Structure 1
Amino acid sequence: MTEKMSGGETLSMEKDELVHRAQDQMRRHLEAPDWSLREKVALTCHILFAQGHDSGLAGQITARAPAPGNYYTQRLGLGFDEISASNLLTVNEDLEVLSGDGMANPANRFHSWIYRARPDVRCIVHTHPLHISALSMLGRPLKVSHMDTCPLHGEVAFLEEWPGVPVGNGEGEIIAATLGDKRAALLAHHGLVIACRSVEEACVLAIQCERAARLQLLAESAGQVRDIDPQLAREAHDWVLQEKRTQATFAYFARRALRALPAGGVDPLG
């Protein structure tokens, strides 16, 4: 337990000092349930379903499994709202099913290319949410110009030309190269891909990408979007993308999704 101040001492502190103080408090006080990796993937499916990221059977969510070259993903034929920790597949880079029933989405192939190119990536989200998809049809990159979306500052690449259905190796090479070292990419005439260091981070950034696209389309319908100061955007980026904060945000969205489960619905933790 830290020593309590008598009051008013923080009012003379510099911003950097206040930031470090808040970061220390978050590390000590923010907690999240000890979900397994499979449970986090299943929860992400339900969270993104609730956030409007579903598009029938399109889209995939994957996470690196413990064995090198393997990852967890959902079974083709199930929607995001039908995924549970128990019905996830374990597949290898060739999309051969190592455990579970059914088959993986053939479009998962480009995930293998991203995992090979990016050892830091632990989770990939690919979805076709409404506003991201609409923006992708205009041939314009995602614009970050609001505090809430600053975690995306400098993080979103743009693939200008659609290479077609991503079931071939060529598409995997193109998407992985477009992504580079960034956490996200807007794919023209297609959708969104997120590549992050954790399931929680991938889920939260996927939500923010769709929100950013919606904000951009709304703002551009009224006028010209003003640029945000890059230094302030980076400050907000680093503030929001703290691991503890990201975990807490994911846990909040998970609680919402679990509370909203319909009677007879699939329990992601089941």
Structure 2
Amino acid sequence: MTSTLHDSKDEIVGRAERQMRDHFGDSALSTRQKLALTCRILFDGGHDSGLAGQITARGKEPGTYYTQRLGLGFDEITEENLLLVDEDLNVLEGDGMPNPANRFHSWIYRAREDVNCIIHTHSLHTAALAMLEVPLVVSQMDTTPLYDDCAFLKDWPGVPVGNEEGEIISAALGDKRAILLAHHGQLVTGATVEEACNLAILIERAAQLQLLAMAAGTVRPLPPELAREAHDWTSTERRNQANFAYRARRALRAHPDCVAEGTTI
């Protein structure tokens, strides 16, 4: 006999959250491995734009972070060829040079102690939406982790290799987890690599959905209270871990060279 058909939504949600805490947990992957897998996930997810875009994650020492080597595409990143740099982009570990545009990541890390990973790409649909100079509109359940959590920088400040762009972008991001950059692309942040990876996939999908919907008619807004509820339900650490693990398994099957042989997820 069933015992839950008359439970309240709050009771069901609470039970599900407890079960997720029991069944999903921290990964044994290193930060380098998570970043390498994320690069392959993003490549497969339509974020490829040649050598444009950066991914970073804080290193163990304050003021340091991992990033990819300039000259390598997302589909070429491995745990071994990632660089460790300081805030001035001096290479502390690894060979090669980082992308000079990583400078604005330093500004975001300084402004946001809660951020441990940043992903910036020129993915196709976010870049197309950015050309219209309109904010991202979240109006579909799957993309609600971005509801009221995506800022918008309407004025393009130019190529982001100076400190000025770092100040502008970090200020425009504010306390949000994501931002659409007009005439440029997207940027997402996360407390973990898993969170940032999931948001990067979702912001590209949200932009694609928005463009399709705009071409067909008028995008209708979500009820704010329900959208905020969905945002919180889909933004938990355990859901991020589960979603990332699924995507990482797919990436590892397609790109076994990106991490050490024998790595399991």
TM-score category of the 2 structures, normalised to the smaller one: over 0.9
1:236 alignment partner in structure 2: 230
Compute the displacement of 1:266 (Å).
3.5
Residues 153 and 234, structure 1, Cα contact 8 Å, conserved in 2: yes
SS for the counterpart of 1:9 is: coil
Residue-by-residue CA offset, 1:182-224 (whole Å, 9 max, x unaligned) = 0000000000011111100000000000000000000111100
Match of residue 219 from structure 2: 225
Matched, 1:103 2:97: yes
Corresponding residue for residue 30 of structure 2:
36
In structure 2, how many angstroms separate the alpha carbons of the residues matched to 1:187 and 1:129? 12
Corresponding residue number in structure 1 for 2:259: 268
Given candidates 163, 169, 174, the residue that maps to 2:168 is: 174
RMSD of the TM alignment (CA)?
1.1
Residue 50, structure 1, aligned to residue 16, structure 2? no
In 1, Cα distance between the equivalents of 2:259 and 2:177?
25
Gap runs ≥5 in structure 2: none
Cα distance, 1:33 vs structure 2: 3.8
**Alignment map for 1:96-135 (pairs within 5 Å):** 96-135=90-129
Q: Say which SS state the counterpart of residue 238 (structure 2) adopts.
A: helix
- Find the aligned partners of 2:257 and 2:187 in 1 and give their Cα distance: 25
Deviations 1:81-123 (A, max 9, x none): 1111111100000000001000000000000000000011000
Offset, 1:269? 4.0
Could you tell me how far apart the structure 2 residues matched to 1:133 and 1:45 are?
18
Q: Tell me how far apart the structure 1 counterparts of residues 89 and 254 of structure 2 sit (CA, whole Å).
A: 32
Indicate which of 19, 23, 29 corresponds to 2:17. Answer: 23
In 1: Cα distance, 2:254 partner to 2:79 partner: 18
Instruction: Give the CA deviation at 1:259.
Output: 1.3
2:193 and 2:48 map into 1 onto residues whose CA distance is: 17
Alpha carbons of structure 1 residues 253 and 32: separation in structure 2 relative to 1, 3 Å: farther
For structure 1, list consecutive stretches of 5 or more residues without a partner in the other structure.
Answer: 1-6
- Tell me, what secondary structure is at the counterpart of 1:67? coil
Distance 1:32 1:57 in 2: 31
| SS of structure 1 residue aligned to 2:56 | strand
Q: Find the counterpart in structure 1 of residue 152 from structure 2.
A: 158
Aligned partners of 1:201, 1:165: CA distance in 2, in Å? Answer: 27
1:138 aligned residue = 132
Q: Which amino acid is the alignment partner of residue 230 of structure 2?
A: A
User: Which segment drifts farther, 20-29 or 32-41?
Assistant: 32-41
- Structure 1 residue identity aligned to 2:223: D
Q: Of 252, 260, 265, which residue of structure 2 is paired with 1:258?
A: 252
**SS of the residue 1:221 aligns to:** helix
**When the two structures are aligned, how many residues end up with a matched partner?**
261
List structure 1 runs of 4+ shifted beyond 3 angstroms: none
1:139-198 alpha-carbon deviations (Å, 9 max, x no partner): 110000000000001110000010000000000000000000000000000000111111
Q: Is the 8 A contact 1:41 1:85 kept in 2?
A: yes
- 1:79 paired with 2:73, answer yes
